[in-house]
């Protein structure tokens, strides 16, 4: 009797585990669902406002820009997306985009050039307060409009002509201008939808998009489900569903990967790379990115330029990359290797004796006289490991004690805006492959600059470099700008340029891996 009961229970358990294998959560069929882990809740799916890579990943799949990267091209060229073709006149100062006429939003409304203009107006509008507004500052009068100096948007250099083409007038020549349009902040937008639903327009029942996927389910802090958009203007996505979990603990995620509950796991912990590298599912690719520490130049003692220099000279980047052992490249310059404008000689090189000199020059011959210093990072095992190493290096090389603090990503970003800690960790992944994208971050008018540092000469160089056509001249201007940023004023300490490590289940074919870190899943095939 008892044995019979036991057998029944075991049998029932077995049966239920078997049926579970057939489908995953939300009633999606496993064989047509790519299961990924985006690690955290995207702070916002509003593509005019979001600034982080988690949100960008979702936005890149539900939306589309006028152009997109052609990753098959070794020079990283562009290919048509919403725009059929484009050309420039007047020495790359006027750009004309001819748009496709067969594109429809997923609520049936046809896409027009006006939606792009609306998107740009919203991006630049001071009331939107988008951190990416500076992206379009190359457009005529855009920066003035964004700062509220001009109220009339018709003076900004973007128009729809009679043929329905988009004509963009720039402040000066900008040969890389079309690259900006691969970024989500320049995507078209539906003002009528935003007006109707207000803040809630990005929820699945309200949002209107035109990309290869539709946002179907968004369970906060748990998962996002994307479903193939059948009215997509181009070749429909090969895989029907994308199920994006938000699992912050990497060890949990790796277990889930190994049991086949998720197909892809990025952000592998550096400490486990040694073991994970041996797996056949392991893949890595370089990425145009920068890992850096910023310093609050208004908070004592970091208002003292010599203290900043001392800290920058006291960190051995090589020690960090040796520790991480994942192919990262140590760097002291601001522009990452692999990009035009990179110069390995730039920046504050590791030199403990020089560091001590600077500290003494700052008036802290006795390092224990320094006030309490906080070093902040957003909760993550790797950031913690690096922070602990930097803490130890500063103690060893300078004799200063720093306290490590960590916060969850969303509140960390909030903290950087309201009360920047002494030293904070940040990263940057190229939005487009041009040094302007990196150097612009530290201009006094950039919203991504949390150091409270601003320098007119630096701002001028960046503005000038954008409008210069000749490559060598540009290179020179960027060299000067990097000199100011990483050697003369030092509000930031570059650490390394990153590599993305990823585990991809063998049933997944054509998983997108590229130097821009873009993840568009429409070409992914499941075997």
Partner 1 sequence: MTTAALSQPSKSLWQDSLARLKKNKSAMYSLYFIVFVCIVALFAKYIAPYSYETQNMDAILEGPSAKYWLGTDSLGRDQLSRLIFGARMSMAVAVFTAILSLVIGSIYGAVSGWFGGVTDRVMMRVVDILYSIPTLVLLILMKVIFDSLDIFENPELKALTSILVALSLAGWVTLARVVRGQVLQAKQMLYVEAARSLGAKPIWILARHVIPNIMGPVIILLTLQVPSNILFESFLSFLGLGLQPPFSSWGVLANEGWSLMKSYPHLIISPSVAMALTLFAFSYFGDGLRDAFDPKMRGRV
Residue 408 CB, nearest approach to partner 1 (Å): 11
**Given the complex with partner 1, which of 276 and 477 has the nearer CB atom?**
276
**H/E element holding 54?**
helix 53-62
**Given the complex with partner 1, which of 123 and 311 has the nearer CB atom?**
311
Q: Is 279 in the site for partner 1 (CB under 8 A)?
A: no
Q: Are the C-beta atoms of residues 242 and 521 closer than 8 Å to each other?
A: yes
List the one residue from 109, 167, 191, 271 that touches partner 1 (CB under 8 A): 271
Q: Is 326 in the site for partner 1 (CB under 8 A)?
A: no
Q: Are the C-beta atoms of residues 178 and 78 closer than 8 Å to each other?
A: yes
**Given the complex with partner 1, which of 168 and 398 has the nearer CB atom?**
398
Residue 145 CB, nearest approach to partner 1 (Å): 43
Query: Residue 221, by phi and psi: left (phi above 0), alpha (psi -120 to 50) or beta?
Result: left
Q: Give the 3-state secondary structure of residue 303.
A: coil
Residue 389 CB, nearest approach to partner 1 (Å): 6
Residue 400 CB neighbours (<10 A): 21
Could you tell me which residues come within 8 angstroms of residue 314 by beta carbon, excluding any fewer than 6 positions away? 350, 352, 355, 393, 394, 397, 398
Q: Are the C-beta atoms of residues 194 and 66 closer than 8 Å to each other?
A: no
Q: Give the 3-state secondary structure of residue 414.
A: helix
Sheet harboring 499-504: ordered strands across? 213-219, 223-228, 241-245, 33-37, 264-265, 499-504, 282-286
**Given the complex with partner 1, which of 2 and 278 has the nearer CB atom?**
278
What is the 3 state secondary structure string of 372-384? CEEEEEECCHHHH
Residue 297 CB neighbours (<10 A): 20
Binding residues with partner 1: total (CB under 8 A): 31
List the one residue from 192, 272, 284, 343 that touches partner 1 (CB under 8 A): 272
Distance CA 249, CA 401 (A): 29
Could you tell me which residues come within 8 angstroms of residue 7 by beta carbon, excluding any fewer than 6 positions away? none
Q: Is 274 in the site for partner 1 (CB under 8 A)?
A: yes
Q: Is 251 in the site for partner 1 (CB under 8 A)?
A: yes
Distance CA 292, CA 278 (A): 29
**Given the complex with partner 1, which of 230 and 325 has the nearer CB atom?**
325
Per CB under 8 A, the segment of 41-49, 148-156, 378-386, 515-523 that binds partner 1 is 378-386
**Given the complex with partner 1, which of 202 and 391 has the nearer CB atom?**
391
List the one residue from 151, 195, 372, 527 that touches partner 1 (CB under 8 A): 372
Build a one-symbol-per-residue string for 386-415: x at contacts with partner 1 by CB under 8 A, - elsewhere: -xxx-xx--x-----x-xx-x---------
List the one residue from 250, 262, 335, 477 that touches partner 1 (CB under 8 A): 250
Q: Is 327 in the site for partner 1 (CB under 8 A)?
A: no
Distance CA 385, CA 376 (A): 12
Residue 50 φ then ψ, to 5°:
-70, 150
Q: Is 249 in the site for partner 1 (CB under 8 A)?
A: yes
Q: Is 51 in the site for partner 1 (CB under 8 A)?
A: no
Residue 270 CB, nearest approach to partner 1 (Å): 8
Q: Are the C-beta atoms of residues 145 and 156 closer than 8 Å to each other?
A: yes
**Given the complex with partner 1, which of 92 and 323 has the nearer CB atom?**
323
Residue 385 CB neighbours (<10 A): 17
Q: Is 381 in the site for partner 1 (CB under 8 A)?
A: yes
Residue 35 CB, nearest approach to partner 1 (Å): 20
Q: Is 255 in the site for partner 1 (CB under 8 A)?
A: yes
Q: Is 277 in the site for partner 1 (CB under 8 A)?
A: no
Q: Can you give the binding site for partner 1, defined by CB under 8 A?
A: 249-251, 254-255, 269-272, 274-276, 319, 322-323, 325, 372, 379, 381, 384-385, 387-389, 391-392, 395, 401, 403-404, 406
């Amino acid at each position: 009797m008892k044995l019979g009961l036991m057998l029944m229970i075991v049998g029932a358990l077995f049966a239920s585990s078997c049926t579970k294998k057939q489908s995953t959560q939300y009633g999606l069929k496993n064989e047509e669902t790519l299961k990924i882990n985006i690690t955290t809740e995207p702070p916002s799916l509003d593509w005019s406002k979001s600034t982080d890579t988690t949100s960008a990943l979702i936005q890149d799949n539900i939306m589309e820009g006028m152009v997109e990267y052609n990753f098959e091209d070794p020079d990283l060229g562009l290919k048509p997306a919403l725009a059929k073709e484009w050309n420039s006149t007047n020495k790359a100062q006027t750009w004309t985009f001819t748009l496709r006429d067969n594109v429809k939003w997923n609520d049936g409304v046809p896409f027009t050039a006006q939606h792009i203009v609306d998107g740009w107006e919203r991006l630049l509008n001071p009331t939107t307060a988008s951190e990416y507004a500076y992206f379009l500052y190359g457009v005529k009068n855009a920066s003035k409009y964004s700062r509220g100096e001009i109220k009339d948007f018709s003076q900004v250099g973007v128009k729809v002509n009679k043929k329905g083409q988009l004509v963009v007038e720039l402040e000066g020549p900008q040969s890389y201008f079309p690259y900006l349009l691969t970024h989500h902040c320049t995507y078209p937008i539906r003002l009528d939808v935003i007006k109707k639903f207000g803040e809630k327009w990005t929820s699945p029942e309200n949002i209107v998009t035109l990309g290869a996927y539709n946002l179907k389910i968004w369970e906060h802090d748990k998962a996002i489900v994307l479903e193939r958009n059948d009215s997509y203007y181009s070749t429909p996505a090969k895989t029907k569903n994308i199920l994006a979990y938000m699992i912050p603990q990497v060890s949990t995620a790796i277990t889930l990967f190994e049991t086949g509950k998720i197909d892809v796991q990025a952000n592998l912990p550096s400490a486990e790379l040694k073991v994970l590298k041996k797996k056949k599912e392991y893949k890595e690719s370089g990425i145009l990115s920068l890992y850096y520490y910023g310093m609050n130049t208004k908070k004592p003692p970091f208002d003292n330029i010599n203290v900043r220099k001392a800290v920058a000279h006291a960190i051995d980047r090589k020690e960090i990359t040796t520790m991480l052992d994942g192919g990262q490249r140590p760097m002291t310059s601001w522009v990452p290797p692999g990009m035009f404008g990179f110069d390995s000689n730039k920046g504050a090189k590791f030199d403990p004796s020089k560091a001590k000199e600077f500290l003494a020059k700052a008036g802290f011959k006795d390092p224990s006289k320094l006030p309490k210093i906080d070093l902040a990072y957003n909760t993550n095992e790797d950031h913690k490991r690096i922070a602990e190493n930097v803490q130890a290096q500063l103690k060893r090389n300078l004799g200063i004690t720093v306290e490590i603090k960590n916060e969850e990503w969303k509140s960390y970003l909030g903290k950087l805006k309201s009360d920047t800690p002494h030293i904070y960790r940040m990263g940057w992944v190229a939005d487009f492959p041009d040094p302007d994208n990196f150097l612009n971050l530290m201009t006094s008018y950039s919203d991504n600059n949390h150091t409270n540092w601003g320098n007119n000469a630096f701002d001028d160089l960046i503005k000038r470099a954008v409008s210069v056509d000749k490559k060598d001249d540009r290179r020179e201007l960027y060299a000067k700008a990097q000199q100011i940023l990483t050697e003369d004023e030092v509000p930031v300490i570059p650490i390394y340029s990153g590599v993305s490590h990823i585990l991809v289940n063998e049933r997944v074919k054509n998983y997108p891996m590229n130097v821009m870190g873009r993840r568009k899943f429409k070409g992914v095939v499941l075997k």
